[in-house]
Amino acid sequence: MKKLNALLLTEGNHGMISQVEGMAKALNTQYNHKIVRLNLPWKFVPPKFTPISELILKDKNYLIENNKIDLVISCGRKSVVPALIIKKKNPKIFTLHIQDPKINLKNFDIIIAPIYDTLVGDNVYSSKGAIHYITQLEINNAKPYLINKIKNKKIVSLILGGPNKYYSFKKKELNKIFNEIKFNFISKGYEIIVVPSMRTPKEIIDLAAKEFSKEGYVLNSVDKNGYLSALALAEYVVVTCDSTSMISEAASSSKPIFVAHMKPKKNNYRFKKFFKLFNELGITKNLGENTGKWTYNKLNEAERIAKKINIIINN
């Protein structure tokens, strides 16, 4: 059967890219990813108050060949109206939006949102955690990538995020996380692999390198193979609390996951709902809790939901 052609629309951050590419892969599509850029003032205006007009777009190139597109997968606030513009130009295109679009849900053929967002509708599918592009096969294939960088078979991998509107990543908080890892793992014979993300500032990478210079290996830049290899080699994974996407991705490894919490600078109620869900599913514990091993049912939400969506698309 011929693969569908999918256009992926995001604002360009890692979490959104991971979600749209994860769904595109699960639906077995050929896909092309475009970063949405909106003109002023529209990039600051909520979708429900934004006109469905090409005038809001800074870049319109991806609209030209919409007759070759079968499916649009969008994620994030800024991608909502561009997806609707494409649908308006060609109503035959199937539209799928990830996250709450904050407009009438029936504007899209399918909505995928985390279960803790409590969105309800005939076209809404709820996911446990974030949809993402990491697969077990990719993790297994990347395992040898960092094997020569470490000496020990006992590995803890630390996945670092970065400052956002909820978490500041103050040096004091990072030192507390590093000390907890030293106490709970390094003191018990573990080596560490530290993996930065797209949002990790250089000064945080440098701080980690200084703290763990003799206890393992610190990647000094974003490296997908390094990230996957760190998940494959780890006995335990520690992920900073700022990214539900990174925690969801780590859950695809089936390794025990500790969440390294920091004090939020504003109300993080959606994060709290996510942490509660993953704790109840037996996937995560808080860093500093008992380090005894545990197992859980591995999540593959993209694949699970894609099976249902494929039935709708094929009909």
Q: Look up the domain containing 112 and give its range.
A: 5-133+302-314
Q: How far apart are the first and last CA of the chain?
A: 14
pLDDT score at 66: 61
Closest CA to 201 of 166, 157, 163: 163
Peptide bond into 41 cis (omega under 30): yes
291 within domain boundaries:
no
For residues 98 and 185, membership in a common domain is answered with no
For residues 122 and 195, membership in a common domain is answered with no
Q: Report the CATH number that the domain containing residue 38 is assigned in CATH.
A: 3.40.50.11010
Q: What is the pLDDT of residues 50-90, one digit of tens each?
A: 999 999 999 887 776 666 899 999 999 999 999 999 999 99
For residues 280 and 260, membership in a common domain is answered with yes
| Interatomic CA distance for residues 237 and 293, integer angstroms | 11
293 within domain boundaries:
no
Per-residue pLDDT of the chain (315 residues; tens, 9 = 90+): 678 999 999 999 888 999 999 999 999 999 999 999 999 999 999 999 999 999 999 988 777 666 689 999 999 999 999 999 999 999 999 999 999 999 999 999 999 999 988 899 999 999 998 999 998 899 999 999 999 999 888 999 999 999 999 999 999 999 999 999 999 999 999 999 999 999 999 999 999 999 998 999 999 999 999 999 999 999 999 999 999 999 999 999 999 999 999 999 999 999 999 999 999 999 999 998 877 889 998 888 999 999 999 999 887
| Interatomic CA distance for residues 315 and 302, integer angstroms | 20
For residues 111 and 147, membership in a common domain is answered with no
296 within domain boundaries:
no
292 within domain boundaries:
no
pLDDT score at 116: 87
For residues 218 and 141, membership in a common domain is answered with yes
For residues 40 and 123, membership in a common domain is answered with yes
Per-position b or e across 199-229, b if 16+ CB within 10 A of its CB:
bbeeebbebbeebbeebbbbbeeeeeebbbb
Q: What is the pLDDT of residues 165-207, one digit of tens each?
A: 999 999 999 999 999 999 999 999 999 999 999 999 999 999 9
Tokens 């978490």 correspond to what residue? 167
pLDDT score at 313: 86
For residues 193 and 279, membership in a common domain is answered with yes
Q: Report the CATH number that the domain containing residue 188 is assigned in CATH.
A: 3.40.50.2000
Structural domains counted in the chain: 2
The kind and range of the H/E element at 89 are: helix 80-89
| Interatomic CA distance for residues 257 and 68, integer angstroms | 42
3's tokens? 């693969």
For residues 148 and 192, membership in a common domain is answered with yes
DSSP 75: E
